[in-house]
Amino acid sequence: MENILSKLDEPLRILVLDDDKAIIDTISLFLENEDHIDMFATQDGQEALSYVKKKSPHVVLTDLKMPDITGLEILKSVKKIDKEIEVVIMTAHASTQSAIETMKEGAYDYLIKPFKMIELKSILHKIVHAQVLEKKNIILEKKLSKYEKSRKFIGSSEKMRKIKDLIDVVADNNTSMLITGESGTGKSMLAEEIHIKSNRAKYPFVTIECASIPKDLLESELFGYEKGSFTGAETQKIGKMEKAQKGTLFLDEIGDMSLALQAKMLRVLQERELCRVGGTEHISIDVRIIAATNKNLSAMVAEGGFREDLFYRLSVIPVVMPALRERLEDIPELTEILMKKICLRLGRDILKVDKDVLKKLMEYEWPGNVRQLENVLERTIIFEHGDTLNNIMFEDDLYEDDEPEDSITFDIMNEQLTLTAIEKTLAEKALEKTNGDHKKAASILGVDPDKFNSLISG
């Protein structure tokens, strides 16, 4: 257990409580042979609880039945002081009921006396292993959080440079913006980047995905509702627009919003106030609106599927996010950033990327854009066990065809199909595979070159 104990930031603090001194002495003798363990033992329940308050041990090992206090009472008191402390119950009077009761109150496990020290060691090992994993997760979360905060809008191509210049100009203006582009191009990332660089950055950035919320619920999600306004409205709910007060509201896939709700949205934008569903109070709002869609809103306006007045209200500053195939020169930079992000998320060391892989990535057209690139990289990393990405795994590479494209099949019931014809077909295919090299082709078929030549000529 010493190796895993050394991975903790501090020695493992263990409190042992039992009215039987022989049990304490046995456990003490066992644990004193382990490095990185700080043990405190007592026969007094109140002294034990005092130690818990002062030292906050990682593990409390307590007897269940003692004269002055029960192990169950110790368990409840310890969990009130610090619910993260793991409590292991020791008992010579084990029963299903007592086990269930202690586990319900939060005991990590229990040991039936007399128990072997290997059983105790196993439980402590599991506790330490869980704490080491938790530590790793905390470190990973911090790294990911740091990565997200330091994330910059990626791309040095001409199209991306123009968008970056536009961000610098419009960030502090509170006018509405409409971002269009194919799915997976990074419209939401652009919206968040604009918010981060604006004078609203210290206030909320709130997203509402219009396409993922049923149309009859979208209004209440957007504007909120009052208690009793409809069946199931048991309490008042604040809408996404109010939650974005003084910040930015990002309306993703606004092309999926109903015409009726579009009219209400227009009124809110014009009057800068809203009413919750079922309410009468007019609530002033100060929110910047950024909308996005992968649909052609101009065409929808012409067809009557989107309000013209709302379209112009939203698209004061229109931005088109380019498809990835229109900025292939950004792929090396995108790949480097995405590799770091994915490897951190998967708990992997950051992999290098072979230059041939990078070339393949830049030759692909990416119909799914940046989202597809991230998807492909993550899939490839999962299947890569080395420290370098030497291949790239597209969607189709996960599966093998039932019958390869260049396989050969014969209909043996065909009376015109002779053994000589089959041998000649195989020889020709082997020759094709070896680019005309007779010697290699003969080797593939396991025949000598003379025999091979006779098969070809036959």
CATH of residue 90's domain is 3.40.50.2300
Based on the fold, state whether residues 162 and 311 are members of the same structural domain: yes
Environment class of 9 (CB within 10 Å of its CB; exposed 0-12, middle 13-18, buried 19+)? exposed
Centroid of chain to Cα 21: 50
Based on the fold, state whether residues 336 and 381 are members of the same structural domain: yes
Residue 147 lies in a domain: no
pLDDT given at position 150: 43
Residue 96 lies in a domain: yes
- Residue 328 DSSP symbol: G
User: Quick check: 414 pLDDT over 60?
Assistant: no
User: Quick one: pLDDT band at residue 229, thresholds 50, 70, 90?
Assistant: confident
Q: Which domain holds residue 63?
A: 2-136
pLDDT given at position 99: 67
Region 117-141 average pLDDT: 77
Question: Of 90-104, 220-234, 235-249, 390-404, which gets the smallest average pLDDT?
Answer: 390-404
Based on the fold, state whether residues 262 and 287 are members of the same structural domain: yes
Based on the fold, state whether residues 243 and 198 are members of the same structural domain: yes
pLDDT given at position 456: 77
Pair 310, 266: CB distance under 8 Å = yes
Q: Which residue has the higher pLDDT, 207 or 416?
A: 207
- Which residues on adjacent β-strands are paired with residue 301? none
Per DSSP (E only), the strands in 107-226 are 109-112, 177-180, 205-209, 224-225
Pair 294, 303: CB distance under 8 Å = no
| Whole-number average pLDDT of the chain | 85
Per-residue pLDDT reduced to its tens digit, 244-266: 999 999 999 999 999 999 999 99
Number of domains in the chain: 4
The residue out of 289, 322, 355 marking a domain boundary is 322
User: Quick one: pLDDT band at residue 129, thresholds 50, 70, 90?
Assistant: confident
pLDDT given at position 458: 65
Residue 163 lies in a domain: yes
**pLDDT > 70: percent of the chain:** 85
pLDDT given at position 403: 45
d(C-alpha 109, C-alpha 91), whole Å: 11
d(C-alpha 155, C-alpha 20), whole Å: 69
* Type of residue found at 189: M
pLDDT given at position 443: 66
Region 406-425 average pLDDT: 61
Based on the fold, state whether residues 108 and 244 are members of the same structural domain: no
User: Quick check: 148 pLDDT over 60?
Assistant: no
User: Quick one: pLDDT band at residue 50, thresholds 50, 70, 90?
Assistant: very high
Count of Cβ atoms closer than 10 Å to residue 286 Cβ: 12
- Residue 322 DSSP symbol: P
Tally the residues of the chain: 458
User: Half-sphere exposure of 29 toward its Cβ, with a 13 Å CA cutoff?
Assistant: 7
User: Quick check: 399 pLDDT over 60?
Assistant: no
Environment class of 134 (CB within 10 Å of its CB; exposed 0-12, middle 13-18, buried 19+)? exposed
Based on the fold, state whether residues 253 and 268 are members of the same structural domain: yes
Centroid of chain to Cα 125: 28
Pair 329, 295: CB distance under 8 Å = no
d(C-alpha 435, C-alpha 104), whole Å: 72
Residue 407 lies in a domain: no
Per-residue pLDDT reduced to its tens digit, 253-299: 999 999 999 999 999 999 999 999 998 899 999 999 999 999 999 99
User: Quick check: 424 pLDDT over 70?
Assistant: yes
User: Quick one: pLDDT band at residue 18, thresholds 50, 70, 90?
Assistant: very high
pLDDT given at position 4: 62
User: Quick one: pLDDT band at residue 149, thresholds 50, 70, 90?
Assistant: very low
